[in-house]
């Protein structure tokens, strides 16, 4: 009887009407329609061919003079004045489940390869979620082994930490992500390629990630040629998949390349609906959406999402608006230095400009002391590097600089690592402590 009563209440609360509107005009990326009644974030179906039921999905992004402003998920070539617009009265939902492991998906959560069928037994899950309550977030107390010496040794990452990888183009962000994905022991990897070149997607899967990495990963792809809304939804879809597995009790690794292209896509949407451009042309909605996206990852009472976000910095300027905003939100940042890359040091992480905000809370005392000592030696050497290179420094002038010069080749050898090699956390820690002795 209780179940029957609940069902009757559900039926009474259902809206039995379908609401329609009509396309009035198309301006650039935006579609204006007269009706239907809907809310921001709702998905609408624009019916192109009633007989064949051909539809284009679009999202409500704003309102203007009693008109609904829609942005389509796909191309708008066949849309014209008078096309019917059907309201669904709910936001975008995707299908998620264990069967997605090893699959490559588009921003809507569908297989990117048209020859691959969707697994059965998946449940529906909304892409837009609220971040966990700060009071329910457990502290980060356990280190995460990523298999890269410079990170495990000097910039140790914790389970549930959120890290930004900052670099200009062509310095090795994607290659470093591939190394971390292959070497890290996480229950599942979720990798979002947002705004990437179409050519690079397969290269990343085959060369950087590899067959072993793909088996325990779910890849979400929204290439640069797709509409801005698809690039935004790709980031939300990947985050929602990671949240689903975190809530199931897994330790998840989320990688997003790149946050900058997500911000650029939101800038396109904001300018199209009439937002004023502010800092370097970015609209206010960009700076409100970034924390909403980035705060969704991390720990909660069920599991954890350790997140790596790449940030493409224009002209290697680490203080440009997006880089500065993201750095202030995340729990640490790795700066890839073009100068180090040109010298053949890989991974080209500048240790002195990078920081892990949770490292001191999760590593042992001897590990922390050894890492600080190595940083100190590097700092001393780089302070005197110009004098050393031109021969103006005389040995014996400063004992600290003499020690730094002696230790420098050994330190650089420790910081370098071949792309295919993997170091365990214990190996890295032992070698670091022995070197600094």
Q: pLDDT tens digit string along 288-328?
A: 999 999 999 999 999 999 999 999 887 667 778 899 999 99
Spatial contact of 85 and 33, defined as CB atoms under 8 Å apart: yes
- pLDDT for the residue numbered 333: 93
Q: What is the mean pLDDT of the chain?
A: 87
C-alpha 411, offset from chain centre: 31
| Res 83 pLDDT > 90 | no
Q: Please say if the pLDDT value at position 182 is more than 70.
A: yes
| CA 15 to chain centroid | 37
Which pLDDT score, from 0 to 100, does residue 234 have?
93
pLDDT per residue over 203-238, tens digit each? 888 877 777 778 888 999 998 888 888 999 999 999
Q: Give the span between the Cα atoms of 166 and 335, in whole angstroms.
A: 5
| C-alpha angle 18-20-22 in degrees, rounded to nearest 5 | 170
Please check the confidence at residue 152 and state whether its pLDDT lies above 90: yes
Q: What is the pLDDT of residues 234-291, one digit of tens each?
A: 999 999 999 999 999 999 999 998 899 999 999 988 888 888 888 788 999 999 999 9
- 379 within 8 A of 352, measured Cβ to Cβ: yes
Are 162 and 330 within 8 A, CB to CB? yes
Highest-confidence segment of 65-79, 383-397, 406-420 = 406-420
What's the pLDDT at 389? 77
Question: Which percentage of the chain shows pLDDT scores above 70?
Answer: 95
pTM of the model: 0.88
pLDDT at 38: 87
Q: Say how many C-beta atoms besides its own lie within 10 A of residue 431's C-beta.
A: 15
What is the pLDDT, as a whole number, of residue 52? 62
Largest CA distance in the chain: 92
């Amino acid at each position: 009887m209780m179940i029957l009563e609940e069902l009757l209440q559900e039926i009474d609360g259902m809206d039995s009407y379908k609401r329609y509107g009509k396309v009035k005009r198309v301006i650039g990326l935006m579609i204006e329609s007269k009706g239907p009644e809907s809310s921001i974030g709702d998905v609408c179906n624009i019916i192109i061919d009633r007989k064949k039921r051909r539809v284009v999905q679009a999202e409500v992004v704003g309102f203007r003079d009693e008109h609904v402003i829609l942005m389509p998920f796909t191309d708008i070539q066949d849309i014209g004045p008078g096309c019917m617009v059907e309201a669904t009265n709910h936001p975008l939902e995707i299908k998620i489940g264990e069967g997605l492991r090893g699959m490559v998906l588009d921003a809507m959560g569908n297989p990117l390869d048209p020859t691959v069928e969707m697994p059965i037994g998946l449940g529906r899950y909304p892409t837009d979620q609220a971040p966990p309550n700060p009071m329910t977030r457990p502290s980060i107390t356990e280190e995460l082994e990523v298999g890269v010496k410079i990170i495990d040794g000097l910039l140790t990452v914790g389970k549930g930490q959120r890290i930004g990888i900052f670099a200009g183009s062509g310095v090795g962000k994607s290659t470093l992500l591939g190394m971390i994905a292959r070497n890290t022991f996480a229950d599942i990897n979720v990798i979002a390629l947002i705004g990437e070149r179409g050519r690079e997607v397969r290269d990343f899967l085959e060369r950087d990630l590899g067959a072993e990495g793909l088996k325990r990963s779910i890849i979400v792809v929204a290439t640069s040629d797709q509409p801005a809304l698809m690039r935004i939804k790709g980031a939300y879809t990947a985050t929602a998949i990671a949240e689903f597995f975190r809530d199931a009790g897994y330790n998840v690794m989320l990688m997003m390349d790149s946050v900058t292209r997500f911000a650029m896509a939101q800038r396109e949407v904001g300018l199209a609906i009439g937002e004023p451009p502010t800092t370097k042309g970015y609209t206010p909605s960009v700076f409100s959406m970034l924390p909403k996206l980035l705060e969704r990852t991390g720990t909660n009472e069920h599991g954890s999402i350790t997140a790596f976000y790449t940030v493409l910095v224009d002209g290697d300027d680490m203080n440009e608006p997006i880089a500065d905003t993201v750095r202030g939100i995340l729990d640490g940042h790795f700066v890839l230095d073009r100068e180090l890359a040109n010298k053949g040091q890989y991974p080209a992480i500048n240790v002195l400009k990078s920081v892990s905000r949770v490292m001191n809370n999760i590593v042992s005392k001897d590990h922390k002391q050894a890492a600080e000592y190595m940083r100190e030696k590097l700092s001393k050497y780089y302070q005197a590097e110009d004098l050393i290179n031109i021969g103006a420094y005389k040995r014996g002038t400063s004992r600290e600089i003499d020690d730094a010069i002696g230790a420098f080749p050994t330190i650089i050898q420790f910081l370098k690592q071949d792309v295919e090699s993997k170091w365990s956390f214990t190996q890295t820690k032992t070698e670091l402590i022995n070197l600094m002795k």
